[in-house]
Amino acid sequence: LKDSDNLMTNAVFKKLGETYFQSRGTWQNSLKAVKEILAGPTGINFRQALVNDGAGLSRYNLLSPMQLSKLLYFAYHNKTVSSAFINALPIAGIDGTMKYRLTDQRHGSRIHLKTGSMTGITALAGYLRTKHNGTVSFVIMVNGFVKPRKPFIRMEDDICRYLMSTVAHG
């Protein structure tokens, strides 16, 4: 997750469908596997959410910030995957897709985020360590813009700075 690799992500997605159903890994059985695995524990109503690929490249993927937040909550509280998942996320100002973002923050290493972008879309989702050693998850999604992405990325970073100044170690 630190460095986006959409081809690898889609391969893992198809492998999930193959493993879950013990049959050929197709888009359809992978999508069905994701829904069956996640619907119960996350509370996501997949009739109101669309997942069309594993990498998030399809414009037909439709998840709300709340639905993505539920996934983050589930991953954090699932002790089987929690540590590995969080450690796989880029660390602000340190590595991956966040290496050159939030570099001015003393405590940037306390914020683990995954970026997402397409034409007219930018998003961040991840975790922040709080002053009292707790963890909060958050999701920022901006879409539908026709202007250059840079001001919206700055806005995302400003929101992260605000969160770090109010709830992060500090």
pTM, to two decimals: 0.89
Q: How confident is the model at residue 164 (pLDDT cuts 50, 70, 90)?
A: confident
Q: Using one digit for the tens of pLDDT, what is the confidence trace for 27-84?
A: 999 999 999 999 999 999 999 998 889 998 899 999 999 999 999 999 999 999 999 9
Q: Are residues 123 and 91 in the same domain?
A: yes
As a whole number, mean pLDDT of residues 138-164 equals 95
Neighbours of 161 (CB within 10 A): 17
Q: How far is CA 104 from CA 17, 96, 107, 140, 150, in A?
A: 42, 16, 9, 20, 17
Instruction: List, for residues 8-35, the tens digit of each pLDDT value.
Output: 999 999 999 999 999 999 999 999 999 9
- Which whole number is the average pLDDT over 96-104? 91
Same domain, yes or no, for 151 and 134? yes
Query: 82 and 69 share a domain?
Result: yes
Q: Do 158 and 109 fall into the same domain?
A: yes
- Coil vs helix vs strand at 143: strand
What is the span of the domain harbouring residue 98? 64-170
Domain count along the chain: 2
In terms of domains, do 80 and 13 share one? no
Q: How far apart are CA 87 and CA 131, in angstroms?
A: 19
Give the per-residue SS3 of 86-122: HHHCCECCCCHHHCCCCCCCCCHHHEEEEEEEECCEE
Same domain, 159 and 75: yes
pLDDT at 131: 80
50 shares its domain with 132: no
pLDDT at 1 over 90: no
Does 49 share its domain with 95?
no
| Helix 27-42 × helix 6-21 angle, to 10° | 80
Same domain (yes/no): 52, 115: no
Is residue 32 domain-shared with residue 103, that is, in the same domain?
no
- Is there a single domain that holds both residue 2 and residue 32? yes
DSSP state, 54? S
